[in-house]
Amino acid sequence: MIKLDVMARENIPIDDLYAVMAAHPEYIRRDDLIHETDEGARVLARCVRESIERALE
């Protein structure tokens, strides 16, 4: 994928939230199979916070 090549070349971090959700299907709501559960939202929020913190170091 060209976008990933550019991100790697320019040393731009990628926050792959899809991979987090794919590894934990229990975080996906069963009623629509799209949105995250409350716990899933907390996990994603933590991932985003950690990515921001790393970027600010």
The DSSP secondary-structure symbol of 33 reads S
Q: What are the boundaries of each domain within the chain?
A: 13-56
How high is the pLDDT of residue 4? 83
How high is the pLDDT of residue 46? 97
* Token reading at 2: 């060209």
* pLDDT tens profile 12-54: 888 899 999 999 999 999 999 999 999 999 999 999 999 999 9
Element (H, E) at 23: helix 17-23
Instruction: Tell me the C-alpha distance between 25 and 29, whole Å.
Output: 9
Write phi, then psi, for 8 (nearest 5 degrees).
Answer: -65, -45
pTM of the predicted structure, to 2 decimals: 0.80
How high is the pLDDT of residue 1? 62
3-state secondary structure (DSSP) of residue 37? coil
